[in-house]
Amino acid sequence: MAIRPILTDRDPALHKMCHAVTQFDERLGDLLDDLKETLADANGAGLAAPQIGILRRAVIVVDENDEMLELVNPEIVQEEGEQDGLEGCLSLPGMWGYVLRPEKVRVKAQDRHGEWFEAEGTDVVARCFCHELEHLDGHVFSEHADRLYTSEELEVLQEREQKKGRKR
């Protein structure tokens, strides 16, 4: 296992379509292990293979129980409701934006051995499923945000919101 460098939005690999995983072997296991270790080191909620320069359809998402789900060849099979919330990305460090996503998402994926399964998530996990799966198609969350905020701008914005809440 190894911690891999995370590519930034300027890298062309992040904007390319990923290939399906067809071989469920030791190399795939190593990739998934590296994704997990890199994600843990970065303290993120999800990580997709293209973010470490591998154009394969594999992602890791942290679920409601703080466990890392390995999703190979994932696809969204059901969406419900909607939520508007802040997103960030390990490939756009220090940048945040409000993005409209489904409130509940069900995905179908394969595990590291090729066995199909389904997983469901709400709130942050649903947001993460959508965010990471978009990476596999060459997209980043900033394409959906009306504007991006720096960490400093976001802090000021949140302070304003807190003050408004106290005045009510």
Residues 38/55, Cβ–Cβ less than 8 Å: no
Domains along the sequence of the chain with CATH: 12-167 (3.90.45.10)
Predicted structure pTM score: 0.92
pLDDT > 60? residue 168: no
17-63, pLDDT tens digit by residue? 999 999 999 999 999 999 999 999 999 999 999 999 999 999 999 99
Report residue 166's pLDDT band, with 50, 70 and 90 as the boundaries. low
Averaged pLDDT score across all residues of the chain? 95
> Could you tell me the CA-to-CA distances from 17 to 38, 84, 167 in Å, in that order?
22, 26, 48
Would you place residue 167 in the very low, low, confident or very high pLDDT band (cuts 50, 70, 90)? Answer: low
% residues pLDDT > 70 (the chain): 98
Residue 25 neighbours by CB distance under 10 Å: 12
Q: Which of 118, 132, 134, 153 is catalytic?
A: 132
Q: What are the backbone dihedrals phi and psi of residue 37, each rounded to the nearest 5 degrees, phi first?
A: -65, -40
More confident call, 159 vs 77: 77
User: Any catalytic annotation for residue 82?
Assistant: no
